[in-house]
């Protein structure tokens, strides 16, 4: 009796594997083996608990898609000998995964910038859920997708649906999304940034904000008005004379105060929290009046200002009202005050630009226009005052 031949089974180069994850779902991935090399490719496909006919159909479609991808990978191996793993990775990169990477990129940015990055990521994820495509691929982001995202930002709400995003916030999210796509182009993941295909009118328009500031007379008023928290008063007036943002004022250390070559003049040498750019600001005698006394062993100048930034704004509002100031003054208005005051007193726009740490003098020109407008308004105050006086020919 002849011996039965043993059946020879060829090992599949690509297999679909399953991995249990949180929530009872199952993640599908490919286990690829060829010429001694073994790779795993995450498919971003998930099986859900089959609790009804709809979930069974969903899982069947998911498995079908996984089989199609598997078949394509086998063809890739047969045609090319080896899979181009970089190409596979690029083709399967989801937008959500790319935004994860983008948020981690350049993580030395200020906390506020990192927060905006994270919020942009959250809004994109929210939009993907809104359109029912949470696994949307990065390579499929096109002009229409960008237009849809912008429209979504204009209509979506927060704070339990009570508020809509402001135009400024929408612009920030769009700008960060555009920056993420620009980096994807540089990294070779996509060929072009689809935001560049949009016309200016299709993007959120920049609103020219009214920059509130205190005049010199108003500064004198608040100086002579008591404040519930004296340190808030000192910090605000200190920023009025230096142009430092609240974040920089909070981070300012005594070790950043230096003497100039003449041995008398003191100046601040500080790396800005927001931009990471260095600013050098001379300290006038008036500025020094509003600095707290130095405490032994403590480097941070305003370390005793322990109340929250929200509370600071509340205290400022009370203080301004007590001084008879009806303008809406926030802490950042101290920076506007510094710029307009210096320009009013005759400082050059270049010097003011350097003190404020502006990257472009165009940013400082906004304050110059404000000062020019105020000068014109002042000159026009005489109009009509002398109508009854005869003009001698």
Q: Are residues 159 and 22 in the same domain?
A: no
* 252 phi and psi angles, rounded to 5 deg: -70, 135
In a domain, 393, yes or no: no
Strand, helix or coil for residue 313 = helix
Whether residue 210 is contained in a domain is answered as: no
Number of structural domains in the chain: 3
Query: Rounded to an integer, what distance in angstroms lies between the CA atom of residue 43 and that of residue 65?
Result: 10
Last residue within a domain, chosen from 92, 122, 140 = 92
Q: Which long-range contacts (CB under 8 A, 24 or more apart) does 103-109 make?
A: 105/183, 108/276, 109/276
Name residues whose C-beta falls within 8 Å of residue 35's C-beta, 6 or more positions apart in sequence: 82
Residue 316 lies in a domain: yes
Q: ∠ CA(63), CA(42), CA(152), 5° rounding?
A: 85
Tell me, yes or no, whether 243 and 139 share the same domain: no
Residue 240 sits in the same domain as residue 285:
yes
DSSP string computed for 335-376? HHHHHHHHHHTT--HHHHHHHHT-SSHHHHHHHHHHHHHHHH
CA–CA dist 205, 256 (Å, integer)? 39
Domain finish residue from 33, 57, 92: 92
Do 75 and 100 lie in a common domain?
Answer: no
pTM of the full structure: 0.53
Same domain, 128 and 54: no
Residues 185 and 256 in one domain: no
Q: Which of 148, 180, 202 is the last residue of a domain?
A: 202
Residue among 164, 146, 143, 168 nearest 154 (CA)? 164
Cβ atoms of 138 and 79 closer than 8 Å: no
Longest C-alpha distance within the chain, in Å?
141
For 94, residues 6+ apart whose C-beta sits below 8 A from its C-beta are 44, 135, 136, 137, 138
With respect to residue 386, please indicate whether it lies within any of the assigned structural domains: no
- In this structure, the chain runs to a length of 393
Please say whether the beta carbons of 196 and 202 come within 8 A: no
- Residue 50 belongs to domain spanning: 14-92
Same domain, 265 and 245: yes
Do both 289 and 365 map to the same domain? Answer: yes
Residue 133, domain CATH? 1.10.150
Q: What is the reported pLDDT for 376?
A: 58
Q: Are residues 226 and 356 in the same domain?
A: yes
Looking only at the bridges linking them, the beta strands covering 163-164 and 257-259 are unpaired
pLDDT string in tens for the chain (393-residue length):
455 555 444 567 889 999 888 778 999 998 887 766 777 888 888 899 998 988 899 999 999 998 998 888 888 777 665 555 555 566 678 999 999 989 888 767 777 788 889 999 999 999 999 999 988 999 999 999 999 999 999 888 766 666 788 888 888 999 999 999 999 999 888 889 999 898 888 888 766 556 789 999 999 999 999 999 999 999 999 999 999 999 999 999 999 999 988 888 899 999 998 888 899 999 999 999 999 999 999 999 999 998 888 899 999 999 999 999 999 999 999 999 998 898 888 888 888 889 888 888 887 887 777 777 665 555 555 555 555 656 565
14-140-75 Cα angle (round to 5): 25
Whether residue 20 sits in one domain with residue 140: no
**Contact (Cβ atoms closer than 8 angstroms) between residue 9 and residue 73:** no
Find all residues with CB under 8 Å of 267, minimum gap 6, and list them: 257, 258, 260, 280, 281, 282, 283
Give the separation between CA 242 and CA 138, rounded to whole angstroms: 45
pLDDT confidence of residue 220: 95
Same domain, 374 and 250: yes
On whether both 105 and 176 belong to a single domain, the answer is yes
Strand partners, 14: 32
CATH for 295: 1.10.443.10
């Amino acid at each position: 009796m002849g011996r039965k031949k043993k059946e020879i089974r060829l090992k599949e180069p690509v297999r679909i594997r399953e991995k249990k994850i949180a929530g009872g779902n199952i993640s599908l991935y490919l286990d690829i083996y060829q010429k001694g090399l073994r790779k795993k490719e995450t498919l971003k496909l998930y099986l859900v608990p089959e609790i009804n006919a709809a979930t069974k159909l969903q899982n069947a479609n998911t498995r079908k898609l996984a089989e199609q991808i598997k078949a394509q990978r086998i063809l890739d191996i047969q045609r090319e000998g080896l899979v181009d793993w970089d190409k596979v990775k690029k083709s399967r990169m989801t937008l959500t995964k790319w935004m994860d990477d983008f948020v981690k990129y350049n993580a030395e940015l200020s906390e506020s910038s990192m927060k905006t990055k994270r919020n942009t990521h959250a809004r994109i994820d929210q939009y993907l859920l809104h359109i029912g495509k949470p696994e949307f691929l990065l390579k499929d982001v096109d002009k229409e997708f960008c237009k849809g995202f912008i429209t979504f930002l204009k209509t979506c709400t927060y704070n339990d649906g009570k508020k809509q995003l402001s135009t400024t916030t929408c612009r920030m999210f769009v700008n960060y999304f555009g920056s993420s796509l620009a980096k994807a182009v540089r990294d070779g993941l996509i060929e072009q940034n689809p935001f560049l295909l949009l016309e200016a009118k299709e993007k959120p328009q920049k609103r020219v904000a009214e920059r509130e500031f205190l005049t010199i007379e108003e500064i004198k008023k608040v100086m002579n008005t008591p404040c519930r928290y004296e340190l808030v008063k000192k910090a605000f007036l200190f920023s009025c004379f230096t142009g430092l943002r609240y974040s920089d004022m909070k981070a300012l250390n005594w070790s950043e105060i230096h003497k100039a070559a003449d041995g008398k003049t003191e100046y601040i040498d500080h790396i800005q929290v927001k931009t990471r750019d260095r600013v050098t600001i001379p300290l006038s005698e008036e500025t020094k009046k509003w600095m707290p006394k130095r405490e032994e062993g403590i480097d941070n100048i305003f370390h005793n200002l322990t109340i929250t930034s929200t509370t600071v704004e509340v205290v400022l509002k009370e203080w301004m009202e007590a001084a008879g100031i009806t303008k809406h003054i926030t802490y950042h208005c101290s920076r506007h005050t510094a710029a307009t005051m210096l320009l009013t007193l005759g400082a050059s726009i270049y010097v003011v630009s350097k003190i404020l740490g502006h990257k472009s003098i165009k940013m400082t020109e906004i304050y110059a226009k404000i000062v020019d407008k105020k000068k014109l308004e002042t000159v026009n105050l005489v109009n009509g005052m002398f109508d009854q006086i005869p003009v001698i020919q």
